[in-house]
Structure 1
């Protein structure tokens, strides 16, 4: 549920995020969650990746240069820190799921949590989260002015079995809609 909330936040309100000139991303929300899977296929034992079409569009829009963790033991530590911090934030702020009256109220809560988190020190690191952010902030590239379209538009036709096909999935719809492509 927290992941869905974060995805909606990223889609509904431009998050405070950026990308360093080297392509490393910084984000106070998780905009990558709007993409189902970045890698469509891992090719061979070398671990080369074939990226999905939506991920390629997403990273191109935001100016992200993709790189992937090294497979096996030599890469075992590559992504754990980031995933651990996302888990920390989720467990400490979205469990239980906060009850709010509006998305604006939830955004205000997330902004407050972000500011509070800047004073936190991760384990035995020398600086706080906010101090590390102050060092990295000047390296961030500006965000694009236009939003990334997270949705896709499909115009499925209801078949004789009262079903529509969306990509590889089939869904039942009322029988009265057989033969139609417009439902509204």
Structure 2
């Protein structure tokens, strides 16, 4: 049964397979401004070595710390991975606060499911599992955005109680109540 966990070296081989799938879609290219794109460009050449992957995992976990190094305009984020045993399925980040850009474009929660695992309910379950964690981080409700033409992501957001607020440029903006206080240990 898949679960949302802190990044771990236990899924090293599967993570590399997933990244290859994402890169086949063009992720990690210079114009990919997502967290996944940044990770591919920053750490990708070191991932194949266990020590390089362990350093990436440690840096990813530390991204939740206020004083961790990050590009200008990026905020602390708690990154969680959706795994099943030793299989990496997807990743999700919960940003600790909104900036003007995140309010208009990126939202508080972003997620990616590896291409070969899509259309199986993973994104819906992963987003649902993240809501108590977001609550523990102090968010009573979270902003989640998607491209206006991304029907699958829109359905994921709506299945998790997303209430449509508006469209800003190409982004649809939804708010989701995080529910009661509980979270990931």
TM-score normalized with structure 1 length:
0.30
TM-score, length basis structure 2: 0.30
| Larger relative strand fraction | 2
Flag the structure with larger Rg.
1
